[in-house]
Amino acid sequence: MRIGELAAATGVSVRSLRYYEQQGLLAAERSPSGQRLYPQSAVHRVRVIQQLYAAAVPSKSIREMLPHVVDGQATPELLDRLAAEGDRIDGRIGELESARARLGEVIVAVENSLTGKDCQAQ
């Protein structure tokens, strides 16, 4: 199938498909006229890529995991890698919650300064 057909079948933009190819996540054959040609299995592969991106997994990690995720050959190493990505996301959530709390303190301090109350941000 051509790139436009793959885009339509997956709901992913042509630009994203080209990016996946640049990142080594997706491969295409070339027709004699130079058009990208994908096998039917590319539909499943693109959907898996989308799921991993939606889970905030970076391209490099996706590239390393993808062969095992797509072919269904789960390994302990793959499970460890997915768990490590979950831990990375948990760490990022903690950082964002802390940043949000600090921002809340700043907002209260600014509100207090606008109303003339004593500013006691922590």
pLDDT at 33: 94
Nearest to 4 by CA among 12, 14, 17: 14
Query: How far, in Å, CA of 66 to CA of 62, rounded?
Result: 5
pTM beyond 0.85: the answer is: no
Tokens at residue 9, please?
A: 């079948």
pLDDT given at position 120: 54
What pLDDT digit, counting tens, does each position of 29-76 carry? 999 999 999 999 999 999 999 999 999 899 999 998 888 877 777 788
